[in-house]
Structures are given as C-alpha cells and as structure tokens.
Amino acid sequence: MIIQGKDYRTVWMEGNLVKMINQPLLPHKFGIIELKDYNEVHDAIKTMVVRGAPAIGATAAYGIAQAVLQFKGSLMSELEAYLAEVNEKLSQARPTAQDLFDGINYVNKKIMNSDTVSEAKDRAATVAKDYADRSADACKKIGEYGNELINENDRILTHCNAGALATVDYGTALSPIRMAHYSGKRIFVFADETRPRSQGSRLTAFELVEENIPHAIIADNAAGYYMRKKEINICIVGADRVAANGDVANKIGTYEKAVLAHENNIPFYVAIPLSTIDLNSETGEDIPIEERDEEEVLYSYGWTRSGNFERIRTSPEKSRAKNPAFDVTPARYITGLITPNGIIMANKEEIAGLFE
C-alpha cells in the first residue's frame, strides 16, 4: 500500500523483531511498532494494533517464527513442547478470524518437518514470509477478479476496513476497488464509518485518501438511504470467517447491509482469500462471535487539537453496553464470493470445489 508516497506492508519481520503499522494511531499519525516476542505479538492482535483476518494470520505466522528464533533449547522434542505453548497463547488472541489459525498451522507444519532445531531456526523467517507473500498474492488476485465486476462510474459501498491494512497488502474488499482505480475507471466509494471502532472512517478512508480514490464517509445507518436513492451500484465487503455453506462472519453491521442490498436489488459480494474459509464450520451458527469490551461502545477516541489521543465518554455513567464484534450474513443474501481462484456462488458445492 502507498502511505506518504512510500510502499508498505501491514506486517513484516526484521531480524528477530516483528514490525507492523500501528493502526490505532491512524489516520492522524503514522507509526511503526516493534514486537520483541510472541507475547507482544499476542497483545498486538488482541488489542487490535493489527486487525483484519489476513493481517492477523500473517502476524501469527511471524510470531511463531519469532518464537522459534528465540528458542533456547537444542532438541526438536523440546521445541515441539515449546511451540504448543506458543500456539495456545496466540490462538486465544481473537476467536473469530479463521486466518489466525491458518497462519499458526502453516508455519508449525513447515517447522516441525525439520530434522534439527538449527534447521528449524534457519527456515523459520523464510516460512513466515512465504505465508505472508502467499497472502498478499491472493489479495492481488482477488482484486483482479473483482475488478471485472466494477463498471465505469460505479458507486461502491464497503463496510469496515477490508483494505491493505486488514491484510498483508492490497486488501480484500478494497483490492478490486484499487484495481479499478489503477485501470483508469472512474469510481466513487461510500465508506461506512463502522462503529464502534470506526475502522471505515479511520482506516478505509485513510487508504482511499493515500490512493487518491474519490470517496465519502457515511454514518452506518445512512447506507439504506443511498441504496433507496439508487446511488449505490454494488457492495463489496471482506470477511473474518466463511462457513462451508457460504454463510459469512464479518464486522458487525454487515448483515444489515446485505439485507438492505437484497431489498434494493443491489449485488452484494464478499471478497476472501481461501485462508478465511473454515470447512469445519458447517454453517454460520458454528462460527464463534467475539464479544469485545463494552468501553468501545461507551467511549469515543480521537486526537485533540493539542495533539493528544484521548478517550471521551459519550454515554451516561450508569449505562452498560453490549459489543459483539461480528455478525453472520446468511449465504442467501450474498451474490458471490470473490476469491483468488475466481468468483463463485456462496454455496457448499462451489466452496468445496475450491479445495478439490
């Protein structure tokens, strides 16, 4: 992704350090955070310094590699026991994003094929980078296929941030938008603000500004207004997990956008790498939904004119809140899934075909 005229990835590794863009600082300040061990990697995922399913997966992959490089033992049996602890810690960071478990499993499988600890250490960083590279390549292909759905002068609705910041690079939902822009198509993006953490108004808008893509931030409850006025031609969102039957778990508010799109005969697409598909979840009812801290709803965060990042309570002191981070959109509301292998229907047969 281009930030301040320079190309960045969301997460990468330098030596024994895992580095990433510090997303809570955006859009008002750009910074890089360095994570010294897998415990800090866990905390970065849990506190959403990094977020978005593919980005979480790549971060976990680098966290495993970092743990291997820092391992002090000499026996593969000791390394296996140590990695079991690391895996358990990282896997508990966030429950809904399927890519988290995909990244952990990918690196573990490659590492445990080593004959010696020395060989495992030699391979660790390369294996993790390979996972990240594959993820970025998959998102690029999503963009190429998704671009075919976007017409000249289309007005596109997206929800949350499914851009490069939510992946290693390119994005999922924003990848087709990027490719359409790069190919010279005149497009316009409606970016849902996506409360309570405002990833749309903070992060998606930030990416669109950096790429000079015309857009407007809208309140979450304004999408129906623009759909009914026929000012939206197509909806593209990302996902945190896709069940075997095509049901999709994504940022809270996605379900209502899909229903509104269906009511207004607007195509609704979900852009995903294969790592986001969980064949062990038969339907969306099997997907665990993360419940986050109620303070995200009760408070707002932002930068003051004096340059301080502050939290402000916007609700009564005695009020409590509920804060599900995701909802599930049934497959019947989804026009298609944009994958690195092409555009498919959101059903069990076509999803299974991706893995044959």
Positions marked active-site: 240
Reduce the secondary structure of the chain to three states and give it as a string. Answer: CEECCEECCCEEEECCEEEEECHHHCCCCCCEEEECCHHHHHHHHHCCCCCCHHHHHHHHHHHHHHHHHHCCCCCHHHHHHHHHHHHHHHHCCCCCCHHHHHHHHHHHHHHCCCCCHHHHHHHHHHHHHHHHHHHHHHHHHHHHHHHCCCCCCCEEEECCCCCHHHCCCCCCCHHHHHHHHHCCCCCEEEEECCCCCCHHHHHHHHHHHHCCCCEEEECHHHHHHHHHCCCCCEEEECCCEEECCCCEEEECCHHHHHHHHHHCCCCEEEECCHHHEECCCCCHHHCCCCECCCHHHHEEEEECCCCCEEEEECCCCCCCCCCECEEEECHHHCCEEEECCEEECCCHHHHHHCCC
